[in-house]
A and B are shown apart, each in its own frame.
Chain A
Amino acid sequence: MTITDRQERALKELLRIAESVYDQIDEGEIPQMSLALRSKKNIEFDPRKNVWTYGDLTAHRGAKTIKGATLMLRTLHMVDFIRDMIDQQHSSTLREMYYISEGWGNGKFNSQDESNLLAEDLEIISRCMREDFKLRPEEDGARIIGDLTIVETDRKGKRKTINCRDDVGDSGYSIPFKVEKDKIEMKSCGAEFVIAIETGGMFDRLVENGFDEESNALLLHLKGQPARSTRRFMKRLNEEMGLPVLVFTDADPWSFRIFASIAYGAIKTAHISDYLATPGAEYVGITSSDILNYDLPSDKLTDQDVAALKSELKDPRFNDEFWRSEIEAMLQMGKKAEQQALAKYGLDFVTDTYLPEKLAEMGIRL
């Protein structure tokens, strides 16, 4: 395998960081790096791409403080490390890099969160993807079951045709950390829509009830906040296979954020929202009004839940009529519910009654 063009570009961009630091010192300045401010304050809707991306606010990281200087040193070490990896065609997990940083003197990471954040910083600075840096996340992608046929190039370079219903076991096809075209090709699809499910319990329930075949659906297990590759995979299903993406989660503030990261783009990865987000994704439930309408068993909101909901009211991504009323309704009743609460009416209720009713509201006839 040769070094790809994207990697070539990544290398160049990264080396430019080192150059800029060097030149600033050489001129007797306090070296500084600038990048987009990664916060809720700096999220803007991009009407062209239909997703939320970073705005114009910039953060400057100077070497004046111990925090800034450490970060700068760390960045240089990481850039050097990535350069090595690309040269030698290795790849490494973010977790591995965290341990490798032991040898970086004052620049070593104190927690893995720091290495994750910095990897994203480098994406922003270099306008490349961390996959181009040969860095892969620790977490694996989600699982999927349904009538979808793909061609995956495996680690030995062999192309395998896989049908995600017939060629896999009951736990489904596992989405790899890299889902670009050179790795996965979408071949054909008999399903009519994707239903992305937050919890494993509900995913297994729909599999057991045969919802994929009965309703001609692709079932996808998000595993909580979906990994980047999962979101990318959904986007490709939506764009290349023309499948609507429907999101089915618990009814609580954290689930709302799962939906936002799928449909609008996550704050942390807003620099690549156009690559990860599926603007057409729709929220099936469970909604605040479902809790009332279906009289579902519920739990009281915790203090953190309430704080999270209030913070969402200030999040520009939730600033539309639907979400404002959902969030306010939840705050008002002070309750949340899990997907599994539907089992109150029997194990088949979700597939026989709830989903058909909800999907019908959205114009999908089963």
Chain B
Amino acid sequence: MHSEDDRPKAGSKRSVANDLAGKQQEISVTEFFEKNKHILGFDSRAKALLIGIKEAVDNSLDACEEAGVLPDLFISVQRSDEDEEFHIVIEDNGPGIVHAMMPNVFGRLLFGSRFHAQCQSRGQQGIGISATVMYGNITTGKPARLMSKIEEEDTAWLMDITVDTKRNRPNVTNDQPLIWPEKEHGTRIEYYIRGRYVKGKQSIFEYLKNTAIVNPHAEISYTDPDGKSYLFARATTKMPPKPKEVKPHIQGLEIGDMMSLARDTKQKTVKSFLKNDFSRISDRVANDILELSGISEKVKPSSLGRNEARRLISAVDNVKIMAPPTDCLSPIGEELIKKGLKHVLEGNRPEYYAPPVTRAPRVANGNPFVIEAGIVYGGELPRDGQVSILRFANRVPLLYQQGACAITKAVEAIDWRNYGLEQRGGKGIPYGPAIIMVHIASTKVPFTSEGKEAVANLEEVHKEVALALRLCARSLKSHLNKKERKKKTRAKFDVVQQILPEIAQKSAGMLQRPVPSLDATITKIMNVVWIEPKSAVENGGLREVSYSIYNYTTAPKSFMLHSILPKSCLNETVLDHRLQEVKEDGKATWEIKDLAPSDSTEIRFQLDGELSDVFEESDIFVSGLNMAMIMGADPLPGDWGIKGMEISESDAQPEEEDEDEEQEEVLNDDY
């Protein structure tokens, strides 16, 4: 970049170029980043504080999972004596780091084990944690202190590290072995950093809370600068499946990537390059590609020029190639998303968790990705204001640049008014008491920048997010419909259970006559079998579920009740004798026989165990009875797979509802 003064004057071009050559020198990567901190996300004091912790936590979680250890994380943020300076501690129970590698991992940028791997992980570039160390060094002049122990050794190692920004090498001082009591393995990093502590949407607390949602297998404890401690307890002991390394998928590859891969390959021919360096390329597919691109299979890959590379890429578009292998991805999974959301958000008592959706893997720019989504609605979630959008990439919460993110853009493009949320003009972030959660898992998440804060708005990603959200949104809508229906039936129930008895009592009292029986009147009003679910969690997590069944009709009724129970949680010692069977997949059937008019009964069961809170008590189904005669349950779905009881009797349809029997005008005309 030239300023006005540097501009070469006519006739002296050569000498200026020589001058410049004298000044040109290699700048180290570290130095570059020091001058461009924003690229790594250290662009404000508040953000610097958070980003440092985020990098360390990401690394810890990755390390624990790689080692197959359930993560136990401890994070502490304390104010130091100096202004705007904070003392940070992050400790994990991961596998630890070999002594010799400790300086490089924490003190050298772009040093990492994952930079070249095609594998889903949180940290990818290997910039993060060493950048944190460097940023701490620069802003406080104090080194970072590391402690790490691996299982095979008796002692842990401690050292202080600073980053030599000129050479991109770590400076180690105070290197010494020590005993780390009661720690089998793990790593602890302590550093000082200048920053600003903020609360709210982009706070450390929020980041850790969201981390807990998508990492239900982790236990995270946090002490904030005010000395307050929080514990996000582990919600499951199930580890996420380990992601595998895979070769890149050829679809969506950029021409530059193709050329550099071709240059660096060990393969001798283009055909073996295609077959062996990419995933899902069979002999036949390789032949098809080569034929379409007009390149001989014997050509040496390193001799491919720009033209050939372009022909290869356009040929790929016209060949059907299997989607990349998906076992390299580790989506959270529908059950655990719900579990994580429930675990962390239960304080807000949301009324509804839309069943989370995990989409099938797709490919964008040659990398497989999976979109997962969930919606939480109602309860004590704030009613006015926009819904909150929780964005995650490879189990890491994204807190910044919401507006630039593909996830946000997909949310904004949906007309949420169709799904029961408010939205101005059917565009933009909707309003209402809801949380929208979206997770993208990929071997290489397409971020907009190195700061890893927003997902690039690629068409495939956008489409998948929209599809996942629509599925969740549909569940939400049907929940809201159900709720509306319930409100109506509830009102009816109140009439017969509360108001009518009061009417009978009051009129009898006024006339000094005995209180009349209401049975016949109630039957006339209801003319249905009423099913009312109840659920209560007792101390110790035991969940007691019951269904009260009232026969408000004129004839005895027999029918079947069905539900899907989390079988592993069912307490088999207290089963109702009318329970016919519980199938392997949890499908349960009860038989209710000859329930007399105006009579009622109850079935109950207990759930105990990790998945007991996943059960939705309002998902209760009936067969063997005209559905017009049922309130409080749904008809048995067609895909249930077991044959429901045939409807043996045909009841008369209940009377038409005449809700507005009185079309009273609002009498505001006059007195």
- A-to-B contact residues, CB < 8 Å: 15, 18-19, 21-22, 24-26, 28-31, 37-41, 59-66, 68-70, 72-73, 76-77, 79-80, 83, 105-107, 117, 225-228, 231, 257-258, 260-261, 266-269, 315
Contact = CB atoms under 8 A, between A and B. Distances in A.
A363 B449 CA distance: 90
A330 B510 CA distance: 54
A72 B499 CA distance: 9
Interface stretch (B80-88, B464-472, B476-484, B513-521): B513-521
Given A25-B516, A117-B667, A106 B510 contact: no
Contact of A260 (B520, B663, B667, B670): B670
A105 B502 contact: yes
B661 interface: yes
A106 to B, nearest CB: 5
Contacts of B510: 15, 18, 76, 79-80, 83
Interface in B533-587: none
Nearest to B665: A39
B201 interface: no
Given A37-B662, A70-B499, 18 more contacts: A22-B507, A25-B504, A28-B520, A31-B503, A37-B663, A39-B664, A40-B669, A59-B662, A65-B491, A65-B492, A69-B499, A76-B503, A80-B506, A106-B498, A117-B667, A267-B667, A269-B671, A315-B669
A269 B669 CA distance: 11
B518 to A, nearest CB: 7
Given A22-B513, A61-B661, A266 B671 contact: yes
B499 A266 contact: no
Contacts of A25: 500, 503-504, 507, 516, 518, 521
Nearest to B495: A69
A22 B500 contact: no
B502 A268 contact: no
Interface string B643-665: 00000000000000011011111
Contacts of B494: 66, 106
Nearest to A268: B667
Contacts of B507: 18-19, 21-22, 25, 76
23 contacts: A15-B511, A18-B507, A21-B507, A24-B521, A28-B521, A30-B521, A37-B662, A40-B665, A64-B525, A64-B661, A65-B491, A66-B491, A66-B495, A69-B503, A72-B503, A73-B499, A73-B502, A80-B510, A226-B671, A260-B670, A261-B670, A266-B669, A266-B670
Contacts of B485: none
Nearest to A65: B659
Nearest to A105: B502
Given A64-B525, A227-B671, A261-B670, A18 B511 contact: yes
Given A66-B491, A225-B670, A258-B670, A21 B662 contact: no
B595 to A, nearest CB: 20
Contacts of A76: 503, 506-507, 510
B524 interface: yes
Contacts of A15: 510-511
The 4 A-B pairs with the shortest beta carbon distances in the complex, nearest first, are A28-B520, A39-B665, A22-B507, A66-B491
Given A61-B662, A73-B503, A268-B667, A22 B525 contact: no
A230 to B, nearest CB: 9
Contacts of A80: 506, 509-510
Contacts of A65: 491-492, 495, 659, 661
A181 B502 CA distance: 41
A137 B551 CA distance: 47
B178 interface: no
Q: Which of B491, B500, B519 has the most chain A CB within a 10 Å cutoff?
A: B500
B670 A38 contact: no
A229 to B, nearest CB: 11
B508 interface: yes
B663 A60 contact: no
B661 A26 contact: no
A59 B667 contact: no
B504 to A, nearest CB: 5
Contacts of A106: 494, 498-499, 502
B255 to A, nearest CB: 63
B670 A268 contact: yes
Bin chain B's interface residue count: 35 or more
Nearest to A57: B663
Nearest to B509: A80
Contacts of B495: 63-66, 69
A272 B172 CA distance: 100
Contacts of B491: 65-66
A59 B499 contact: no
Nearest to B504: A25
Nearest to B519: A28
B488 to A, nearest CB: 9
Nearest to A79: B510
A239 B508 CA distance: 45
A267 B665 CA distance: 10
Nearest to A312: B669
Given A66-B492, A266-B670, A268-B667, A77 B499 contact: no
Nearest to B526: A64
Given A30-B521, A76-B506, A63 B500 contact: yes
Contacts of B658: 64
A60 B661 contact: yes
Contacts of B661: 59-62, 64-65, 68
Contacts of A257: 669-670
Nearest to B524: A30
A225 B525 CA distance: 42
Nearest to B514: A26
Nearest to A265: B670
B553 to A, nearest CB: 14
Contacts of B670: 225, 257-258, 260-261, 266-268
A130 to B, nearest CB: 13
Nearest to B507: A22
A363 to B, nearest CB: 28
Contact of B506 (A66, A73, A266): A73
Contacts of A39: 663-665, 667
Interface in B136-168: none
Contacts of B503: 21, 25, 31, 63, 69, 72-73, 76
B667 A29 contact: no
B149 to A, nearest CB: 67
A65 B489 CA distance: 10
B500 to A, nearest CB: 6
Contacts of B669: 40, 257, 266-268, 315
Contacts of A60: 661-662
Contacts of A63: 495, 499-500, 503, 521, 525
Contacts of A266: 669-671
A104 B492 CA distance: 20
A76 B504 CA distance: 10
B492 to A, nearest CB: 7
A225 B669 CA distance: 10
A62 B670 CA distance: 27
A21 B501 CA distance: 12
B659 A107 contact: no
A260 B659 CA distance: 33
Given A266-B670, A267-B669, A268-B671, A29 B516 contact: no
Nearest to A107: B502
B671 to A, nearest CB: 5
A18 B513 CA distance: 11
A75 to B, nearest CB: 9
Contacts of A315: 669
A260 B506 CA distance: 40
A305 to B, nearest CB: 14
Contacts of B671: 225-228, 231, 261, 266, 268-269
Nearest to A15: B510
A148 B466 CA distance: 80
A29 B518 CA distance: 9
